[in-house]
Amino acid sequence: MKSSNLGYPRIGENREWKKALEAYWAGSLTESDFQDKMTNIRLANLQKQKDLGIEWIPVNDFTLYDQMLDTAVMFGLVPKRYSDYTGGKVPLSIYYSMARGNQHEVAAEMTKWFNTNYHYIVPEFEDSQLELLENKPLAAYREAKKQLGIEGKPVLIGPYTFIKLSKGYNKKDFPSIILRLLPLYKQILQELEQEGVQWIQIDEPILVTSLAKEEMKTITYLYEQLQLAAPSLHIMLQTYFDGAEWYEELIKLPVQGIGLDFVYDNGRNLQSLKQFGFPKDKILGVGVIDGENIWRADLPAKIKLLSTISGFVSKDNLWIQPSSSLLHVPVTTDNETLLPSEIKKAMAFADQKLEEISILTKGLNEGINSVRVQLDAQQSALTKLANSETRNNLVVQKQAEAAQSRSYSRHLPFKERYQKQQEIFKLPLLPTTTIGSFPQTAEVKKARSHFKRNEWTASEYESFINEEIKNWIQIQEDIGLDVFVHGEFERTDMVEYFGERLGGFVFLKNGWVQSYGSRCVKPPVISGDVDFLEPMTVRESVYAQQLTDKPVKGMLTGPATILNWSFVRNDIPKKDVCYQLGLALQKEVIALESAGITMIQVDEPALREGLPLKVSDRQEYLDWAVSSFLITTATVQDTTQIHTHMCYCDFNSFMDVVSLLDADVISIETSRSHGELASVFEEKTYEKGIGLGVYDIHSPRIPSVDEMFRMIEKGIQVLDKNQFWVNPDCGLKTRGIPETIGSLKNMVEAARKVRQQFENVTV
């Protein structure tokens, strides 16, 4: 057996990658110095994997922003709107314009990588001539070998996954896209073969989704051609995130190795292995260590699984590896000095997971006694956590069990309660609002740091937050928004904030993971039973409402989003955890309503991303995810208006689910997809309030009034003007103050211009 890894966190133990990136964007780091820093981080990551005993180390999994974007620019796939690009190797200025936009050109669309919390840049196919501008896998291989003596395993996103996750072509053009792209993949592999590369890892996670069987014929053709192009190069065809959809066809592909996920496959891959066997002349990459969560593995159970698998595949043909790239977990637990001992000892981040792979490899190659000490220590840690008080709150467990047998719904149908709400709020046509957060300035972060280090008293910190709220209530008045928010200055993160105030959570000191670009998040850890302790948002919401006659939305994060954006305990079903969250948040909604906050937004941006990749698994997830949202919101009065927010997903197949949430108003992302979401409503009817985000908050540009005017007009062509709300794509905490104010002023002016059209028609 050999040890293998699929990908390593690129951000560095102390987010060195993020800091270098932002320094370069700010102009305080030259391009040469920036590249030097990135090289140092990249080589340090490789050396660490080597030191941890990994035999097949991935190269080219490192990126300056996103791996899908890297692949696109490698092929010259630059949208024509980036007028400064005239051909040849894509410069960093164009690369980052595609990622982030600039003052004149909007960024490429960004969406979730399968069902993870990572966002990728969506490549756009146009009629431009594709060519291989740079063989990035080859450059990464050469660097690792020259600098560190590592015989690396280049990583490349597979052609079928790359095309399926891209946009800008019609379905009928799919074959022609393949024929345009295939020669470039052949060229990459041929150059790797000529270099003497032994193995290339080609990632095709699309193969675990619900593909039609006919598609396997196309995939077979692709890999037949790649194999003919570079017959001496060994291809490890890597899947992850679920079981292979067409296992019997997959194992017949002309490749030398196949990687399968044995953690998130729901037992499918093992069942297929037993039913159909595995080719004797292929390597099986066995993904047995969880690449997406932070808990230590039950190593004896993994040894048992590997022993079962070795009954079907020779041990010499097995690679032990994570279930997916370790991009989705923090770097190391070594810096977590504040965790309770019983919890920290049960955790494994990227480095510890690689250690687990090395332990399993050694144990199965040299005998279990060679790793007995490590096995016993790990088992002891897991047992202590299972028996801990935090995982045995019987009151919470009984309440969640009872909730699963109940049905929750609003008292009145939407149209009847919406009319009551409008009589109270008296909102104009096309009401304008924001999603929740305002810029988290250096002063806000500094104040939070003072408070956390006990340099400020609670009273001092509260006074500071009050001043920020007061200032931004006045700014909203000046801008002319119709519905206000308090700005969320007291919140570091929309999930972490609530986790810190609920029972059953712990928090990481340095547990950062990449969300998109330089945006790193520190997910809370649901380590035990979730319990409501005391009101979490009432004080700030009530204070803000006292400062204005305009309605101020209470702001909460929904149960499915807290679940999907946290590292979740893995000893009970996710469904049970979600019901616990719904019950805890229900108490917060009741507290807000009792305090006079009658417009409450419960954000569920992660509801869609938690959707299982297999169509057959989705209904069960949706049943309990929607029920958990209704548990949170359905107890309110008819006159209390419930809002929610979602972003970055394909709503075309999801609007029916959105309707089941029965929120009075939903705001959704649409600007990066250039208004394409509006076309959904040409085919589907949606009768509740809806805000299609009219500008992209992830781009540091101020969109013009005319740009947003056109976006609003496009929306009301397919939606009733009386149900249309106007808002940005998402929260504004990552933006600067001038661009935030400028953008919102233009947004309000655009809404007014559209309103005037209807007023003129009426006159």
Mapped onto helix, strand or coil, the DSSP state of residue 466 is: helix
Question: What are the structural domains of the chain?
Answer: 2-330 (3.20.20.210), 427-762 (3.20.20.210)
Least Cα distance to 625 among 528, 565, 559 occurs for 559
What pLDDT, on the 0 to 100 scale, is given for residue 658?
A: 86
Comparing 168-172, 414-418, 500-504, which segment has the lowest mean pLDDT?
Answer: 168-172
Split at pLDDT 50, 70, 90, the class of 715 is confident
CB atoms within 10 A of CB 207: 28
| Average confidence score pLDDT of the chain | 94
Q: Give mean pLDDT, residues 104-119.
A: 91
Residue 647 marked ligand-binding: yes
* Encoded amino acid at 471, one letter: N
What pLDDT, on the 0 to 100 scale, is given for residue 682?
A: 67
Q: Is the pLDDT of residue 522 over 60?
A: yes
Q: Give mean pLDDT, residues 485-501.
A: 92
Q: Is the pLDDT of residue 492 over 90?
A: no
DSSP element (H, E) containing 646? strand 641-646
Residue 720 marked ligand-binding: no
What pLDDT, on the 0 to 100 scale, is given for residue 29?
A: 97
Q: Is the pLDDT of residue 674 over 80?
A: no
486 is catalytic: no
pLDDT in tens, 589-636: 999 999 999 999 999 988 888 889 999 999 999 999 999 999 999 999
Residues of the chain above pLDDT 90, percent: 86
Q: Is the pLDDT of residue 681 over 80?
A: no
Split at pLDDT 50, 70, 90, the class of 762 is low
CB atoms within 10 A of CB 118: 18
> And the tokens for 654?
């999801």
Split at pLDDT 50, 70, 90, the class of 224 is very high
Q: Give mean pLDDT, residues 254-266.
A: 98
pLDDT in tens, 327-367: 999 999 999 999 999 999 999 999 999 999 999 999 999 99
Residue 606 C-beta-side C-alpha neighbours within 13 Å: 20
Q: Give mean pLDDT, residues 364-383.
A: 95
Q: Which residues contact 166 (CB under 8 A, 6 or more apart)?
A: 72, 122, 123, 124, 125
Split at pLDDT 50, 70, 90, the class of 677 is low
Q: Give mean pLDDT, residues 452-463.
A: 94
Split at pLDDT 50, 70, 90, the class of 460 is very high
Looking at 328, 486, 643, 698, which residue is catalytic? 698
- Secondary structure of 534-577 in the HEC alphabet? CCCCHHHHHHHHHCCCCCECEEEECHHHHHHCCEECCCCCHHHH
What pLDDT, on the 0 to 100 scale, is given for residue 763?
A: 42
Per the listing, tokens 């030191």 go with 51
Split at pLDDT 50, 70, 90, the class of 103 is confident
Residue 131 marked ligand-binding: no
What pLDDT, on the 0 to 100 scale, is given for residue 676?
A: 58
Residues of the chain above pLDDT 70, percent: 97
pTM for this prediction: 0.90
Q: Which residues contact 618 (CB under 8 A, 6 or more apart)?
A: 611, 612
Least Cα distance to 630 among 667, 589, 596 occurs for 589
Residue 171 marked ligand-binding: no
Residue 729 marked ligand-binding: no
Split at pLDDT 50, 70, 90, the class of 95 is very high
Residue 730 marked ligand-binding: yes
CB 719 within 8 A of CB 690: yes
What pLDDT, on the 0 to 100 scale, is given for residue 656?
A: 83
Per the listing, tokens 């909730």 go with 403
Mapped onto helix, strand or coil, the DSSP state of residue 196 is: coil
Residue 61 marked ligand-binding: no
What are the C-alpha distances in Å from 389 to residues 394, 444, 570, 583?
10, 36, 16, 20
Q: Is the pLDDT of residue 498 over 60?
A: yes
pLDDT in tens, 283-302: 999 999 999 999 999 999 99
Q: Give mean pLDDT, residues 260-281.
A: 97
- What does the angle CA 38 – CA 39 – CA 43 come to, to the nearest 5 degrees? 120
Q: Give mean pLDDT, residues 548-564.
A: 97
